[in-house]
Amino acid sequence: VKHVQEERQVCVEFPEATQVLIVGGGPCGLMLANELGRRGIEVVLIDQKATTAFNPQANATQARSMEHFRRLGFAHEIRSQGLPEDYPTDIAYFTRYTEHELVRVHLPSAKEATEIIKNMQGTWSAAELPHRVSQKFVEAVLHTHAAAQPSVSVNFGWALTAFTETETGIEAAIQNSRTGSTRKVSAQYLFGADGPRSFVRRQLGFFYEGDGGAERDFMGGKMLAMYLRAPAFYDVCQHPKSWMYWTFNNQRRALMAAVDGKGEFAFHTQLKPGEDASTISDSDAQTLFEQAMGCSIPIEILSRDTWLAGRALVADHFQRGRVFLGGDAVHLLTPTGGMGYNTAIEDAVNIGWKLAAVLTGQAPSALLETYEPERRPVAQRNTAFARRFADSIGLYRPTPAIESDGPAGDAARRRAGAYLGQHARAEFNIPGFTLGARYDGSTIIADDAAPIPPDAPTVYVPSGKPGGRAPHVWLADGRSLYDTFGFEWTLLRLGANPPAAEPYVAAAQALRLDLRIVDCADPEAHDLYESDLALIRPDQVVAWRNTDRSMLTPEAIFALVTGRLGHTSNGSMPVTEH
Ligand SMILES: Cc1cc2nc3c(=O)[nH]c(=O)nc-3n(C[C@H](O)[C@H](O)[C@H](O)COP(=O)(O)OP(=O)(O)OC[C@H]3O[C@@H](n4cnc5c(N)ncnc54)[C@H](O)[C@@H]3O)c2cc1C
């Protein structure tokens, strides 16, 4: 009777036909459900697990992801998750957690971050600072908001088992993970956000390319992950509280992120030759933890898993026909730099507005063909940056003297502290990594002749050149410029005497595009955009600006940025003076 009731419930909540079927309820799939749901697109999301992640997973939500959560209206909710608001997010390196502290990089608490960002400029010109929070908490918030959208049906406990593409859509077979019962779902598009072992990717015959297993002293090999509760840690560790604790010694290198600030931690150590995860008992695992601690304390192991560090892989394709892939299904990063889940979030943001525009008739399906050319190069860039960080920390080995008493030990620790300090400042201060990804060369970007800004993890150069994140400023009234943007398209009128908006409004209306006009007289914004008009895409990327070389008519601009022209502004197109 219970099963029949459950099936009936499923039939009520779970339509047989939908516009987009999302497979995978990790950050990528849940974010896409939010992007589409906010636009009224019908979505069925399935995930084979019973619920969102129990394990902490990723530890950092980068600034760009936080800006997207702000755009969706729940950044403040995310920032309230995880550590207490006044808990420092320092990164500290020790020989062992209860022994020598080698170096510490101070980072603000969640409460401080919301204030500090309002006075930051230049390379950290952003609406949000990063938030050091376990992915499990972010997933829960994404889930709540996706499920609250009337057009979205979120269904944990269902696995995709087969799919075929027809001329008009996708026919998918799904199976209840608990009862084994099966159902069919048809959709106009399928999005595979189904993680590293992606069924969708394998069905399409796509392959990861790149480095599948670099070997290093740390962050290059089989890792043991333990989610554990050890409140006594704060009693025995006499060093100031940190968000991330690293050990650097010859016996046990490890990293550990504070999860709730009360005693839950995500502990990761690399297994050494001869240590086999399948034969490690809980008591062995406790010993590994104690080696990092430098003493014994009571711990409760909440879960254990293994994972492979050292991968820098990107799939050869992100799309075929009506089937798209995003997140770990198409790119695997070593977690150094903390960009794996954040890259997955931006995949969802990129495809979200495009799918919605096509499904609502505002753009031709050609717009969807720009997803892979825009996102695949970013995935390659991000895997390469993450790999550099992994080399920097993983190939640097402790000397035997690091734990010695006396002057030789002191000198070894000073040297290690200096190296690890500069490494941490590079790995954990990454405005360029998170804010600097660009879509140069995309056919829906009206490029101009300005040089492409430098691309380095620690340096972000705000630029109004089309193809990059819209430069951000704080306005005189204290608002973020981003908070003035429309949810879809925005035309920024900049400076004291910008051109009239009417021709652009008319051109957007002719294509049924939702365009908000924002007048911004702020001189800093005018300087940053180097133009008096800038067209901002729904994903807050500059699509076009009014430079001398850009002589496109408003009609041609909107045709180009919605995929109707299929070539860049360098091609022959109607021109006008304005
Ligand atoms: C130890 C560790 C630390 C990390 N630290 C960071 C960090 O600090 N910062 C960062 O950005 N990233 C980090 N990452 C990476 C991050 O966790 C992943 O990049 C992120 O989870 C990818 O999200 P996703 O939605 O693409 O895939 P996943 O989170 O893997 O979600 C995929 C979902 O698909 C479901 N699924 C799979 N197959 C099917 C099917 N056939 N039918 C239905 N459902 C299916 C799965 O159940 C799963 O829920 C870390 C990863 C690890 C392992």
Mean pLDDT value across residues 291-305: 96
Give the integer Cα–Cα distance in Å for 509 and 512: 5
State the pLDDT at residue 577. Answer: 31
Question: Does the C-beta of 29 come closer than 6 Å to ligand 1?
Answer: yes
Task: Say if CB 183 and CB 15 are below 8 A apart.
Answer: no
Cβ contacts of 391 within 8 Å, gap of 6 or more: 214, 216
Q: Atom 39, ligand 1: which residue's CA is nearest?
A: 194
Q: Are 268 and 288 in contact (CB under 8 A)?
A: no
Ligand 1 pocket member 554 (CB < 6 A):
no
Mean pLDDT of the chain: 93
Residue 571: pLDDT band by 50, 70, 90 thresholds? Answer: very low
What's the CA-to-centroid distance between 48 and ligand 1, angstroms?
13
Task: Decide if pLDDT at 567 tops 80.
Answer: no
Question: Considering only CA atoms, which residue is closest to atom 37 of ligand 1?
Answer: 194
Query: What are 94-109's pLDDT values in tens digits?
Result: 999 999 999 999 999 9
Q: How far, in Å, are 144, 156, 218, 341, 550 from residue 138 at the CA level?
A: 10, 16, 27, 11, 41
Q: Is 164 helix (H, G, I), strand (E, B) or coil?
A: strand
- Distance (Å) from CA 58 to ligand 1 centroid: 8
Cβ distance 50 to 157 under 8 Å?
Answer: yes
Q: What is the DSSP string of 46-91?
A: EESSSSS-SS----EE-HHHHHHHHHHT-HHHHHTSSS-TT----E
- The pLDDT value given to residue 122: 77
Average pLDDT over residues 138-151: 98
**What spacing in Å lies between the alpha carbon of 27 and ligand 1's midpoint?**
7
Decide: 192 in ligand 1 pocket, CB within 6 A.
no
How far is the centre of ligand 1, averaged over its atoms, from the C-alpha of 195 (Å)?
5
160: Cβ below 6 Å to ligand 1? yes
Calculate mean pLDDT across residues 284-307.
96
* 539 vs 560: CA distance, rounded Å: 16
Q: Is the CB of 342 under 6 A from ligand 1?
A: yes
Look at residue 79 in the predicted model and tell me its pLDDT.
Answer: 96
Paired tokens of 569: 């502004």
What per-residue confidence (pLDDT) applies to 3? 55
* Res. 572 pLDDT band, cuts 50 70 90: very low
pLDDT in tens, 256-271: 999 999 999 999 999 9
Residue 110 CA to residue 112 CA, distance in Å, equals 6
Distance 438 CA to ligand 1 centre (A): 24
Is the C-beta atom of 307 inside 6 A of ligand 1? yes
Q: What is the mean pLDDT of residues 534-557?
A: 91
pTM equals 0.95
Is residue 574 predicted with pLDDT exceeding 60?
no
Overall size of the chain counted in residues: 578
**Residue % of the chain over a pLDDT of 90:** 86
Q: Binning pLDDT at 50, 70 and 90, where does residue 337 land?
A: confident
Q: Which atom of ligand 1 is nearest to the CA of 347?
A: 26
Ligand 1 pocket, residue 46 CB under 6 Å: yes
Atom index in ligand 1 nearest the CA of residue 27 equals 25
* Range 417-430 burial, b when 16+ CB lie within 10 A, else e: bebbbebbebbbbb
Q: What is the whole-number distance in angstroms between the Cα of residue 328 and the centre of ligand 1?
A: 6
**Rounded Cα–Cα distance for residues 513 and 489 (Å):** 7
Residue pointed to by tokens 């140069």:
440
Residue 373 has pLDDT above 90, yes or no: yes
pLDDT for res 125: 87
What ligand 1 atom has the least distance to the C-alpha of 46? 43
Query: With bands split at pLDDT 50, 70 and 90, how would you rate the model's confidence at 2?
Result: low
Under the banding of pLDDT at 50, 70 and 90, the label for residue 277 is: confident
Could you identify the atom of ligand 1 that is nearest to the CA of residue 268? 1
Residue 278: predicted pLDDT: 85
Say if ligand 1 is within 6 A of residue 134 CB: no
329 Cα to the center of ligand 1, angstroms: 9
Structure tokens at 398: 């402790």
Q: How far apart are CA 131 and CA 143, in angstroms?
A: 18
Q: Residues 98, 296: contact at Cβ < 8 Å?
A: no
Residue 209 Cα to ligand 1 midpoint, Å, equals 19
User: Is the CB of 337 within 6 Å of ligand 1?
Assistant: no
List the strands of the sheet with 300-309, edge to edge.
Answer: 101-105, 91-94, 244-247, 254-258, 264-270, 221-229, 300-309
Characterise 231 by phi-psi region: left (phi > 0), alpha (psi -120 to 50), beta (else): alpha
* Dist. CA 205 → ligand 1 center (Å): 20
Residue 379 CB less than 6 A away from ligand 1: no
Distance (angstroms) between ligand 1 centre and the Cα of 139 equals: 10
Pocket test of ligand 1: the residue of 30, 341, 345, 351 to mutate, having most ligand atoms within 8 Å of its CB, is 341
Helix-helix angle 554-561:502-510, to 10 degrees: 50
Task: Name the CA dihedral angle for 95, 297, 232, 137, rounded to a multiple of 10 degrees.
Answer: 80
Task: For residue 44, give the 3-state DSSP assignment.
Answer: strand
pLDDT for 551 equals 81
Q: Which pLDDT value is given to residue 556?
A: 95
**Quick one: average pLDDT of 469-495?**
97
Which residue, judged by its Cα, is nearest atom 42 of ligand 1? 159
From CA 108, how far away is CA 551, in angstroms rounded?
Answer: 46
pLDDT band per the 50, 70, 90 thresholds, residue 11: low
Q: How confident is the model at residue 576 (pLDDT cuts 50, 70, 90)?
A: very low
Ligand 1 proximity of 49 Cβ (cutoff 6 Å): yes
Pocket residue to mutate for ligand 1, from 155, 227, 328, 342, most atoms within 8 A of Cβ? 328
